[in-house]
Amino acid sequence: MEHIFSSLIPIFALIIFGYLFKKISFPSHDFWPMADKLTYYILMPSLLILTLSQAKFENNSFELILSSTLAIFLTLLTLVIFNKFNQANSSSFTSVVQGGIRFNTYVFLALSGSIFGSEGLVIAAIIISFAIPILNIFCISIFAIYSNNQKINILFILKSIFKNPLIIASIIGVLINILGFQMPLSLENFLKILSAAALPLGLLSIGYALVLKDIKSAKKDMLVSIIAKFIVLPAFIFFISKYLELDALAISVLVLFAIMPTAPSSFILARELKGDLQLITSIITVQTILATIFLTIFLNYFV
pLDDT value for 213: 72
Which whole-number Å values give the CA distances from 147 to 37, 43, 207, 222, 223, in the listed order?
28, 34, 30, 19, 21
pLDDT value for 3: 52
Give how far the C-alpha of residue 153 lies from the chain's centroid of Cα atoms, to the nearest Å. 24
DSSP class of residue 212 equals: G
pLDDT value for 154: 80
CA atoms of 251 and 238, how far apart (whole Å): 7
CA atoms of 62 and 302, how far apart (whole Å): 22
pLDDT value for 216: 65
Q: Each residue's pLDDT tens digit in the chain (303 positions)?
A: 555 567 678 888 999 999 999 999 999 989 998 998 899 899 999 999 999 898 877 678 899 999 999 999 999 999 999 999 887 787 899 999 999 999 999 999 999 999 999 899 999 999 998 899 899 889 988 988 887 666 777 888 888 888 888 889 988 998 999 898 889 999 999 999 999 999 999 999 988 888 877 666 568 899 999 999 999 999 999 999 999 999 999 999 999 999 999 998 888 788 878 788 888 888 998 999 899 899 989 988 887
> With contact defined as beta carbons under 8 Å apart, do 96 and 221 qualify?
yes
The full DSSP string for 213-249 is: GG--S-HHHHHHHHHIIIIIHHHHHHHHHHHTT--HH
Give buried/exposed letters for 158-183 (b at 16+ CB in 10 A, else e).
eebbeebebbbbbbebbebbeeeeee
pLDDT value for 228: 97
> With contact defined as beta carbons under 8 Å apart, do 236 and 67 qualify?
no
CA atoms of 51 and 55, how far apart (whole Å): 6
pLDDT value for 278: 85
